[in-house]
Amino acid sequence: MIPESLICLYTISRRETTRIFRIWVQTLVPPVITMTLYFIVFGSFIGSQLSGIKGFEYMAFIAPGLIMMSIITNSYTNTVSSFFSTKFQKNIEEMLVSPTPNWVIVLGFVSGGVIRGLSVGLLVSLVSLIFIRLPLHSFVYTALFAFLTSFVFSLAGMINGIFAQKFDDISIIPTFVITPLTYLGGVFYSISLLPDFWQMISKANPIIYMIDGFRFGFLGIADMRVTTGLGMLLIFAVVLFSINLYLLKKGTGIRT
């Protein structure tokens, strides 16, 4: 006998996955095209003019960062837009009137973010193989960082979706917070190349630990301690999950 909450979770997750693949032209294709352009422009054209970083070709150095960048953006975007549109079309009420527990609603939407984040991550990784032979130092670290980062950003996207009241509200955080932090998060450079002051500032950016850890999984090199990144991700996951639960229980944006 399958527990009812698992059936609820499967239902939401299946619905989210169906949505991602139904609108694949919006969800899967654009990040692959964008990242291919990054590989061509920064990796091939510019990268070939640069000396490597920490013993790796520039292209190999930026590839994990670019993959992680697409995982972050797509996980976040998926939950924020899916939750907001569910709210906008009022079909969130389908879940609210049912006995589906709040933790299942959160995990259900987050599973959609993770599925999209990791699918895009996988596609971008495959694209990168056209340009470079990417080593895989540790599958476990690569998978752990990819999964946890995707999970954390899906949770963050859901919080944004809960508060969003109009379509503009779903793009503010990605544009003004996530994109800058990702660009400054060591995708294109090692922070060890920065002056001490900027290194210190950079270390306040959580995304830097995620990219650094993910890159360690591929290349076996890291600027920071990888376990610090893992610990941070776990703390973020617990805190953001709890905030989501609290907001759903309180009914913010969904109950009057």
Partner 1 sequence: MDALSIKALKKRYGSGLEALKGITLDVKEGEFFGLLGPNGAGKTTTIGIITSLVTKTEGTIRVFGIDIDEDFSAAKRLIGVVPQEFNFSIFEKVEDIVCQQAGYYGIGRDQAQASCEKYLRQLGLWEKRRTTARELSGGMKRRLMIARGLVHEPELLILDEPTAGVDVELRRGMWDFLEKLNQKGRTIILTTHYLEEAEQLCSRIAIIADGRIIENSTKRELLKKLDRETFVFDVKANNLQIAPLEQVSFTPLDDTTLEVTITKGRSLNLVFEHLGRQGIEVDSLRNKTNRLEEIFMGMVE
5 vs 190, beta carbon nearer partner 1? 5
22 vs 137, beta carbon nearer partner 1? 22
Among 46, 96, 243, 245, binds partner 1 (CB under 8 A): 96
Whole-angstrom Cα distance, residue 86 to residue 157? 14
> Is 2 one of the binding residues for partner 1 (CB under 8 A)?
yes
4 vs 135, beta carbon nearer partner 1? 4
Taking CA atoms, 27 is separated from 9, 58, 75, 230, in Å, by 22, 28, 10, 27
Tokens of 249: 């229980």
> Is 26 one of the binding residues for partner 1 (CB under 8 A)?
no
> Is 101 one of the binding residues for partner 1 (CB under 8 A)?
yes
- Which residue's entry shows tokens 């899916």? 82
Helix, strand or coil, per DSSP, at residue 53: strand
Number of separate helices (H) and strands (E) present in the chain: 12, 0
CA atoms within 13 A on the CB side of 99: 5
- Backbone phi, then psi, for 21, in 5-degree steps? -80, -20
Among 25, 51, 99, 195, binds partner 1 (CB under 8 A): 99
Amino acid at 214: F
Least distance in angstroms from the C-beta of 37 to partner 1:
29
Among 89, 133, 168, 204, binds partner 1 (CB under 8 A): 89
Amino acid at 26: Q
> Is 206 one of the binding residues for partner 1 (CB under 8 A)?
no
> Is 175 one of the binding residues for partner 1 (CB under 8 A)?
no
Torsion of CA 36, 112, 180, 48, to 10 degrees: -20
Tokens of 225: 């301690």
> Is 15 one of the binding residues for partner 1 (CB under 8 A)?
yes
53-61, 97-105, 135-143, 220-228 -> range binding partner 1 (CB under 8 A): 97-105
Least distance in angstroms from the C-beta of 250 to partner 1:
9
> Is 90 one of the binding residues for partner 1 (CB under 8 A)?
yes
Among 8, 114, 178, 210, binds partner 1 (CB under 8 A): 8
Whole-angstrom Cα distance, residue 167 to residue 77? 12
- Backbone phi, then psi, for 91, in 5-degree steps? -75, 0
Least distance in angstroms from the C-beta of 152 to partner 1:
26
Among 78, 100, 154, 160, binds partner 1 (CB under 8 A): 100
> Is 11 one of the binding residues for partner 1 (CB under 8 A)?
yes
Helix, strand or coil, per DSSP, at residue 56: strand
Bridge partners, 53 (sequence order): 56
> Is 247 one of the binding residues for partner 1 (CB under 8 A)?
no
Least distance in angstroms from the C-beta of 170 to partner 1:
17
| List of residues contacting partner 1 (CB under 8 A) | 2-5, 7-8, 10-12, 14-15, 18-19, 22, 85-86, 89-91, 93-101, 251, 255-256
